[in-house]
Amino acid sequence: MISVAEALEQLFALVSPLETETVPLRAAAGRLLARDVAAARTQPPFDASSMDGYALRRDEVEPDAMFKVVGEAAAGHAFTGHAGPGQCVRIFTGAPVPDELDFVVIQEDVTRRGDLITLNRDMDGKDNIRPAGGDFKAGDVMGAPRRLGPTDIALLASMNIAEVPVTRRPVVAIMATGDELVMPGETPGPDQIIASNSFGLAALLEAEGAEVRMIPIARDTTASLKTAFGLAQDADLVVTIGGASVGDHDLVAPVAAELGMEQSFYKVAMRPGKPLMAGRLGQAAMIGLPGNPVSAMVCGTIFVVPVVRALLGQRAAPAQPKQATLAAPLPPNGPREHYMRAVLSEDGLTAFDRQDSSLLSILSQANSLLVRPPHDGARAMGEEVSYLPL
Ligand SMILES: Nc1nc2c(c(=O)[nH]1)N[C@H]1C(S)=C(S)[C@@H](COP(=O)(O)OP(=O)(O)OC[C@H]3O[C@@H](n4cnc5c(N)ncnc54)[C@H](O)[C@@H]3O)O[C@H]1N2
Ligand code: MOO
């Protein structure tokens, strides 16, 4: 059995970042920026008024000063005339400030009669001008790799980047295995259960930017498993669920081996998730997850998510644990790294008493995985421990 850290290292060795494709800006949200992109323009492209008011000369600003209004500048409509001494231009938010003027007084601070304005006595000294390039300049760079969120999309739009270079989405084939499984919505036989893992994993990986392909449930026969592997053939990553243990019907490893899988490892010193396997299957990386629902989701979080990130060109790195204090004591840990379902509240971290790897209801109530090193001693309330937010 290898450690979680060794298993992750071996997994990262199986994958490298996928190629770059160009997508329209509207399709770029959630994607991984693959190359640095440079702003195609300067923003704002001109000195712009940040307020509705009057543009004039700063050196003419004094209490009770009067100015004649000689024209107007609105957003999208620059003032093209000439404003001399003692003159001002009616200006609106977003309009270019005329070249010869350098101050905008807000309209609340003036009294207007006809074409004449008089400055009030207690106006503040702010010029209310956004300088050209104050946001960004042409050539300024958004650095890759970067997961593009809504705010990045707004910035790219503002930079006039209509097409965005992103890493191709990794195609992940998810293959549930087992004679006992039926799909949600179907009527299970008396000895059957509903396939849940593939749905949880698909949601987990799609949230990371993967394109998930659900392979029909493979039965516990060599022929059915071969058919399912065939359907998964052109994926970047094949994730099998179940059939990974040592029982007579656990056929995933032997069938994968028959299909040429070069195994990197089998079994990791962790709980849940011990019978994890990984290797290379043709062009694809393969991860064989244990079938127990919590094991599958925990291994999905600890191993599959970082692999998907590595395929997307993000830094190949394990999830970074955080620290919190215990709100309840813990018994000593065994020889495997233990990922315990826990709740983090303002009192600290509390692990659930029941940690069996079949209990999805407890996983769903948990908001954290409390991470315990192998052979960790008993822990008292108030001690610091590591956890991963869920
Ligand atoms: N003699 C031993 N038995 C077992 C060992 C062992 O070391 N020696 N390890 C146990 C551990 S730990 C785990 S984890 C499981 C892993 O078993 P498999 O990967 O072979 O998984 P299955 O036997 O196919 O299923 C286990 C359990 O999970 C249910 N399951 C499977 N797939 C799904 C799915 N897609 N959705 C929902 N539930 C699923 C399945 O019905 C079983 O109840 O082995 C232990 N045994
Ligand atoms: O890997 Mo098993 O997950 O400990 O139940």
Specify the pLDDT at position 249. 85
Mention the CATH class of domain 48-130. Answer: mainly beta
Nearest ligand to residue 271 Cα: 2
Q: If you measure from the C-alpha of residue 357 to the centroid of ligand 2, how many angstroms do you get, rounded to a whole number?
A: 6
Question: Phi, psi (5° rounding) for residue 74?
Answer: -120, 165
How distant, in Å, are the alpha carbons of 2, 61, 205 from that of 294? 20, 70, 16
Burial label, 240 (beta-carbon count in 10 A; 0-12, 13-18, 19+)? buried
pLDDT tens track for 33-61: 999 999 999 999 999 999 999 999 999 99
Q: In 3D, which of 342, 336, 328 has the Cα closest to residue 370?
A: 342
Amino acid at 213: R
- The CB of 292 under 6 Å from ligand 1? The reply is yes
pLDDT tens track for 140-178: 999 999 999 999 999 999 999 999 999 999 999 999 999
Q: Report angle CA 235, 307, 226 to the nearest 5 degrees.
A: 35
- The CB of 338 under 6 Å from ligand 2? The reply is no
Residue among 357, 363, 372 whose CB has most ligand 2 atoms within 8 A, to mutate: 357
- The CB of 246 under 6 Å from ligand 1? The reply is yes
Q: Please tell us whether the domain made up of 322-389 is placed in CATH 3.40.47.10.
A: no
How far apart are the C-alpha atoms of 378 and 239, rounded to whole Å?
35
Provide, rounded to the nearest whole percent, the portion of the chain with pLDDT above 90.
Answer: 97
Q: What does the domain layout of the chain look like in residue ranges?
A: 4-16+169-311, 20-38+141-167, 48-130, 322-389
- Helix or strand run (H / E) with residue 364: helix 360-365
User: Which residue, judged by its Cα, is nearest atom 4 of ligand 2?
Assistant: 272
The atom number, within ligand 1, closest to the CA of 193 reads 41
CA atoms within 13 Å, Cβ hemisphere of 41: 13
CATH of domain 4-16+169-311: 3.40.980.10
How distant, in Å, are the alpha carbons of 101, 225, 375, 380, 383 from that of 230? 71, 8, 42, 51, 50
Residue 305 tokens read as: 């998510």
User: Which residue, judged by its Cα, is nearest atom 31 of ligand 1?
Assistant: 291
Q: What is the pLDDT along the chain (390 residues), one digit of tens a residue?
A: 999 999 999 999 999 999 999 999 999 999 999 999 999 999 999 999 999 999 999 999 999 999 999 999 999 999 999 999 999 999 999 999 999 999 999 999 999 999 999 999 988 889 999 999 999 999 999 999 999 999 999 999 999 999 999 999 999 999 999 999 999 999 999 999 999 999 999 999 999 999 999 999 999 999 999 999 999 999 999 999 999 888 888 899 999 999 999 999 999 999 999 999 999 999 999 999 999 999 999 999 999 999 999 999 999 999 999 999 999 999 999 999 999 999 999 999 999 999 999 999 999 999 999 999 999 999 999 999 999 999
Assigned superfamily of 20-38+141-167: Molybdopterin biosynthesis moea protein, domain 2 (3.90.105.10)
Q: In 3D, which of 86, 118, 81 has the Cα closest to residue 98?
A: 81
Q: Count other C-beta atoms under 10 Å from residue 269's C-beta.
A: 17
